[in-house]
């Protein structure tokens, strides 16, 4: 184990002793009440199943069949969330085939900084995370459920869903993404056209054509910003199916992964023998792993805010000192726009998160002995999914990077330190995404005003 990673993990555990114990005690108390529906009065339960068909009503009246809560960030304006429209029906069908039930428990708002940037709406962006967390908790508060699936992708949505789900940490929870849109206009060409517009050499119509060729279809934007950093984080936390983050929407593999998420979470309920709630997955070691993944891939600086809040929701205390110390030990293994020219589809094809995770594990830079929705041990995530018949199977990721301009091994990184650094001075403290900064600009001397 890398001594810095071990040291930070130990420090996080020590400073979280009291808060983590209090959180786990609260979650154990929730579990001790038994299968959720059995605690409801007859009137409460009747309200919760009033709209169900007769067969589902009979099942919900008992306590032997699991009921999955679906919490979704669907709307049809945002490309990243539009594919989620069809997911609830797919999830309900998959649950039924497995002898279970799924109910749409609630929706959460989903806004996009790409739409609101520069507009008054941008001021709501960070606040929306906490609204989403509250909305998730409201959806789960009916106590009708034995597990939950959280459907979401973008910047504030996944952190909000996770914070809300952790308030019901006695439930097994898995995250289900929509996947990125297929690659459009190359990032280098998009940047060139933006420069042409800024210089006044082309007009708004030409600029809009270029932007529309870049952001052009269903799915997540393909640059490695907060939305796609969320997906990385969910895999490093062990909450999302291995290799499933960057599978395009409306494909057989995407649909098969969604059905597999149903099968997976059903195997973790307290009605079976392999009970594993989200409270036990998101522990101190997993949080450190998420930070390491962020640093190794040059992920979004926004997670220096979100991960602190997520950890706190699980009774875990981290701060920027932990990020900074880990960054000194974790090499940068990925060059994905804005850190490079490739997008997340290219990154996925070159080896993706499974390759990065295996490199980090082999170098002792991750806590391997953690719980995940796929069982004990993070090596369960060093794989890539494929469709076998109508189901998902997994195989090992490539042993070598398939494009060393995009992803590299620990032995030959893009940088010996991570993609984020903290800077301190007499004006305060800040975080810099150094993976997106040319080294010629690391030192700047300029007048302050």
Amino acid 425: pLDDT: 86
In a domain, residue 37? The reply is no
CA triplet 304, 290, 163: central angle to 5 degrees? 70
In a domain, residue 295? The reply is yes
Quickly count: other Cβ atoms within 10 Å of residue 424's Cβ.
10
Amino acid 38: pLDDT: 79
Q: Which residues contact 299 (CB under 8 A, 6 or more apart)?
A: 224, 229, 232, 233, 293, 419, 420
Quickly state the pLDDT bin for 434 (edges 50, 70, 90): confident
pLDDT at 130 over 80: yes
pLDDT at 34 over 80: no
Virtual CA dihedral for 401, 247, 177, 342, nearest 10 degrees?
50
pLDDT at 96 over 90: yes
Between 324 and 390, name the one with better pLDDT: 324
Amino acid 23: pLDDT: 99
In a domain, residue 209? The reply is no
First to last CA, the chain: 46
CB-CB contact of 219 with 249 (8 Å): yes
pLDDT, tens digit, 9 for 90 and up, residues 294-321: 999 999 999 999 999 999 999 999 999 9
**Could you tell me which of 11, 58, 38 has the C-alpha nearest to residue 316?**
11
pLDDT, tens digit, 9 for 90 and up, residues 206-224: 999 998 998 889 999 999 9
Task: Write out the DSSP string of 127-165.
Answer: HHHHHHHHHHHHHHTT---SEEEEE--STTHHHHHHHHH
CA gap 303, 281 in Å, rounded: 19
Amino acid 426: pLDDT: 85
What is the Cα 426 distance to its own chain's centre?
A: 35
Task: Write out the DSSP string of 432-449.
Answer: E-GGGS-GGGSS------
**Could you tell me which of 257, 235, 217 has the C-alpha nearest to residue 382?**
235
pLDDT at 182 over 90: yes
Helix (H, G, I), strand (E, B) or coil at 410: coil
Amino acid 282: pLDDT: 99
Amino acid 62: pLDDT: 79
Amino acid 329: pLDDT: 97
What is the rounded average pLDDT of the residues 419-443? 86
pLDDT, tens digit, 9 for 90 and up, residues 267-283: 999 999 999 999 999 99
CB environment 319-334: b (16+ within 10 A), e (fewer): ebebbbbbbebbbbbb
In a domain, residue 44? The reply is no
Amino acid 404: pLDDT: 97
In a domain, residue 206? The reply is no
pLDDT at 35 over 80: no
In a domain, residue 404? The reply is yes
pLDDT at 202 over 80: yes
Strands of the sheet with 101-107, listed across from one edge: 101-107, 67-72, 147-151, 173-176
pLDDT at 41 over 90: no
Quickly state the pLDDT bin for 21 (edges 50, 70, 90): very high
pLDDT at 36 over 80: no
Quickly state the pLDDT bin for 117 (edges 50, 70, 90): confident
Amino acid 33: pLDDT: 82
- Residues of the chain with pLDDT > 90, as a percent, come to 78
Q: What stretch of H or E contains 264?
A: helix 252-266
Instruction: Give the chain's mean pLDDT.
Output: 94
pLDDT, tens digit, 9 for 90 and up, residues 391-404: 899 999 999 999 99
- CA dist 421 to 300, 328, 411, Å? 12, 9, 21
Q: Which residues contact 272 (CB under 8 A, 6 or more apart)?
A: 266
Amino acid 174: pLDDT: 99
Between 252 and 442, name the one with better pLDDT: 252
Instruction: Tally the domains of the chain.
Output: 1
In a domain, residue 54? The reply is no
Quickly state the pLDDT bin for 63 (edges 50, 70, 90): confident
pLDDT, tens digit, 9 for 90 and up, residues 150-172: 999 999 999 999 999 999 999 99
In a domain, residue 164? The reply is yes
Note down the domain range covering 399: 3-32+65-182+217-441
Amino acid 443: pLDDT: 84
């Amino acid at each position: 184990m890398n001594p810095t990673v071990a040291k930070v993990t130990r420090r996080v555990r020590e400073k979280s002793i009291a808060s983590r114990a209090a959180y786990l005690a609260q979650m154990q108390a929730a579990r001790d009440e038994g299968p959720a529906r059995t605690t409801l009065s007859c009137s409460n339960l009747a309200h919760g199943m009033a709209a169900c068909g007769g067969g589902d009503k009979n099942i919900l009246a008992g306590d032997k069949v699991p009921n999955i809560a679906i919490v979704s960030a669907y709307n049809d304006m945002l490309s990243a969330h539009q594919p989620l429209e069809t997911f609830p029906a797919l999830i309900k069908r998959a649950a039924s085939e497995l002898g279970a039930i799924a109910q749409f428990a609630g929706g959460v708002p989903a806004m996009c900084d790409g739409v609101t940037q520069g507009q008054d709406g941008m001021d709501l962006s960070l606040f929306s995370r906490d609204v989403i967390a509250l909305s998730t908790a409201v959806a789960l508060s009916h106590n009708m459920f034995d597990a939950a699936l959280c459907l979401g992708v973008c910047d504030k949505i996944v952190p909000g869903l996770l914070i809300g789900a952790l308030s019901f940490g006695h439930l097994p929870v898995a995250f289900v993404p929509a996947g990125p849109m297929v690659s459009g206009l190359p990032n280098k060409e998009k940047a060139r056209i933006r420069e042409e517009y800024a210089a006044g050499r082309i007009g708004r119509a030409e600029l809009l054509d270029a932007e529309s060729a870049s952001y052009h279809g269903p799915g997540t934007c393909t640059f490695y910003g907060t939305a796609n950093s969320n997906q990385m984080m969910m895999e490093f936390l062990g909450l999302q199916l291995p290799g499933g983050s960057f599978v395009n929407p409306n494909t057989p593999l995407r649909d098969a992964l969604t059905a597999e998420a149903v099968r997976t979470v059903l195997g973790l309920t307290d009605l079976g023998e392999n009970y594993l709630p989200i409270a036990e997955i998101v522990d101190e070691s997993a949080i450190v792993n998420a930070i390491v993944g962020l640093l190794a891939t040059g992920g979004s600086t926004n997670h220096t805010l979100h991960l602190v809040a997520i950890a706190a929701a699980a009774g875990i205390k981290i701060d920027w000192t932990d990020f900074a110390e880990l960054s000194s030990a974790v090499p940068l293994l990925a060059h994905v726009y804005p850190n490079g020219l490739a997008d997340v589809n290219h990154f996925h094809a070159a080896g993706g998160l499974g390759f990065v995770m295996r490199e980090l594990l082999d170098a002792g830079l991750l806590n391997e002995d953690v719980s995940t929705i796929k069982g004990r041990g993070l090596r369960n995530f060093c794989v890539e999914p494929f469709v076998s018949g109508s189901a998902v199977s997994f195989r090992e990721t490539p042993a070598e990077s398939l494009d060393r301009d995009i992803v590299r091994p620990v032995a030959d990184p893009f940088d010996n330190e991570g993609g984020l650094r903290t800077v301190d001075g007499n004006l305060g403290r800040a975080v810099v995404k150094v993976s997106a900064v040319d080294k010629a600009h690391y030192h700047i001397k300029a007048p302050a005003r």
